[in-house]
Amino acid sequence: MVEITIPKPDDWHLHLRDGAMLEGVLPFSARHFARAIIMPNLVPPVVTSADAQAYRDRILAALPADLEFTPLMTLYLTEGTDPADVASAHASGLVTAVKLYPAGATTNSHSGVRDLSKVMPVLEKMAEIGMPLCIHGEVTDPSVDIFDREAVFIETVLDPLRARVPDLKITLEHVTTSQGVDYVMGADANLAASITTHHLMINRNAILAGGIRPHYYCLPVAKRESHRLALRKAATSGDARFFLGTDSAPHVDPLKECGCGCAGIFTAINTLSCLAHVFEEEGALDHLAAFASRNGPAWYGLPVNDETVTLVKRDQPVHWPDKIFTGDGPVTVFDPLLPIHWEVA
């Protein structure tokens, strides 16, 4: 039997939703993760510090009594966001980061940013106080091919933004391309990237080859195999600029399995098992703690968790439920498409 013990991981990009869905999915994240950066793309979005306070209260109220979990709140950047509200929410410890969704880029992003010049006062204030900006890095221009939207964003939006506000600390979230990896590696101290579990495990064939599989559709969409390999190399390298953000994003099955299915993959249940598999395949189990437990806290200026988690490699493949059943309906669990032998002890 092989096992590995690492400091309890954190999830630096998580969708918990609200109401019955929140109640249904929160226990799975809280079992394996000590903290998570909570995405603010609710309907309506979490825009003000008052919204964040109320959402945080709802998350803590939904947390089962036997689990400990710290939600690290984010604010959804709009063209009306008040820099003073952002700064006071950060100073009080209520809010960890601000999330930039280009308007129209993904689920519930229509209140996001259309014109970056309109949010410059917020970004400048954040640079001044050392508050990180989490970015969904895709352009929304319909003339740009969906598989190119991250690379084009880096060139036409992110790079100019970093030149304009060099002191702004930016997390390029759920990076999916070799261009994204190379850009982060070539940048200075103010840029890091999160990587999801599923982008380390699937390429676009999982969505499209042999039939259309909506449960592998997410945004940014999985790219071709060469990109997956670049992501694996970055994640397993131990490089402190790359850390885990699962982007676990539950949608009920009817909203995925339809004529225009939602983007999002639910991985909260089996992320750690899948990661141990990936890191073992890459001969890098000794870097799993860096990716899942150490690099994120270092980037966000937080202590590494004292608690630990042990992963055990079983002789037989481990199994999860195919679906979980929430008060809103069934949610399909990410199927990594190969046997996984690692289990959280």
Please pick, among 10, 11, 51, 247, the residue that the annotation labels catalytic: 247
Q: Which does 123 bind (CB under 5 to 8 A by kind): Zn ion, ligand DOR, none?
A: none
**CA 271 – CA 287 distance, rounded (Å):** 16
Q: Residue 243 in contact with residue 296, Cβ under 8 Å? A: yes
CB closer to Zn ion out of 238 and 261: 261
> In the bound complex, what is the minimum distance in angstroms from residue 42's beta carbon to ligand DOR?
9
> In the bound complex, what is the minimum distance in angstroms from residue 261's beta carbon to ligand DOR?
11
CB closer to ligand DOR out of 133 and 262: 262
Angle at 89 between CA 88 and CA 90, to 5 degrees: 90
CB closer to ligand DOR out of 217 and 243: 217
Q: Which does 264 bind (CB under 5 to 8 A by kind): Zn ion, ligand DOR, none?
A: ligand DOR
247 is catalytic: yes
Residue nearest to Zn ion (CB): 247
CB closer to ligand DOR out of 180 and 264: 264
- The tokens describing 272, both together, are 């750690």
322: helix, strand or coil: coil
Q: Which does 219 bind (CB under 5 to 8 A by kind): Zn ion, ligand DOR, none?
A: ligand DOR
> In the bound complex, what is the minimum distance in angstroms from residue 66's beta carbon to ligand DOR?
28
**CA 8 – CA 274 distance, rounded (Å):** 16
- Chain residues binding Zn ion by CB under 5 A are 247
> In the bound complex, what is the minimum distance in angstroms from residue 212's beta carbon to ligand DOR?
16
Q: Which does 106 bind (CB under 5 to 8 A by kind): ligand DOR, Zn ion, none?
A: ligand DOR
203: helix, strand or coil: coil
Where does 63-188 have alpha helices with state H? 83-91, 120-129, 149-153, 159-164, 178-185
- Chain residues binding ligand DOR by CB under 6 A are 15, 41, 106-107, 136, 218-219, 249, 262-264
Q: What stretches of the chain adopt beta strand conformation (E)?
A: 2-7, 11-14, 35-38, 70-76, 95-100, 133-135, 170-172, 191-195, 242-244, 308-313, 323-326, 329-332, 342-344
Dihedral sign (CA 33, 249, 268, 297): negative
DSSP state, residue 160:
H
CB closer to Zn ion out of 51 and 247: 247
Catalytic residue numbers read 247
